[in-house]
Amino acid sequence: MKIILLLTLIISSVFASTSKKRYLLNQNQITFIYEPFEGAPPISCTHKIKNENNPYDLQVTCEDEKQKKEFIVHLALSQYRRDHQPKTSFELLYWVDSNGATTWFHLDQATNLQFLESSQSITDEMAALRLKIKLKNI
């Protein structure tokens, strides 16, 4: 029983000193580019929120004179600040259709990111969807 109480106290003290902020990114902060792996030129993309009730799911459309590609992207960025190491962590959830990943960045200083870039491969295509998020001044 003492061990359970001790573990509960330790876990609650760790989480009590952590604050979480999930960014609600606006359209101007996000850029997508469709990048084929085999030499074709990249294609700029547009995006919009797929459902107003869930601002983390986006409809992404990449189009040039030859082709049009559409994707559903789940994108969420959270920041965690702590009184202990690591002082700041960022959690990026970036999913394109059914393919994606969660990436963590752990920093030893309480700091902000200026921008973040990530790339996610596209299922059944020799291409990736590159993401850039501008975070300065938010």
User: DSSP letters of 102-115?
Assistant: EEEEEESS----SE
CA-to-CA distance for 20 and 38, rounded, in angstroms? Answer: 40
Confidence at residue 10, expressed as pLDDT on a 0 to 100 scale? 42
pLDDT for the residue numbered 130: 97
> Would residue 122 count as lying in a domain?
yes
Residue 14 included in any domain: no
Whether 2 is covered by a domain: the verdict is no
pLDDT at 83: 85
Amino acid 27: pLDDT: 84
pLDDT digits over 121-132, tens only? 998 899 999 999
- Residues whose CB falls within 8 Å of the CB of residue 78, separated by 6 or more in sequence, listed in order: 20, 21, 22, 23, 90, 91
Phi, psi torsion values for 5, nearest 5 degrees: -65, -40
The per-residue pLDDT for 61 is 98
Residue 13 lies in a domain: no
What does the pLDDT read at residue 104?
93
- pLDDT, one tens digit for every residue, the chain (138 residues): 455 444 443 444 444 467 888 877 888 899 999 999 988 999 999 999 998 888 999 999 999 999 999 999 999 999 898 888 888 888 999 999 988 999 998 988 877 778 899 999 998 899 999 999 998 755
pLDDT of residue 17: 65
| 15 within some domain | no
Size of the chain in residues: 138
Domain assignment of residue 8, yes or no: no
pLDDT of 7 reads 41
pLDDT of 44 reads 96
pLDDT at 15: 47
What pLDDT was estimated at residue 71? Answer: 96
Q: Domain limits at 29?
A: 20-134
Count: domains in the chain: 1
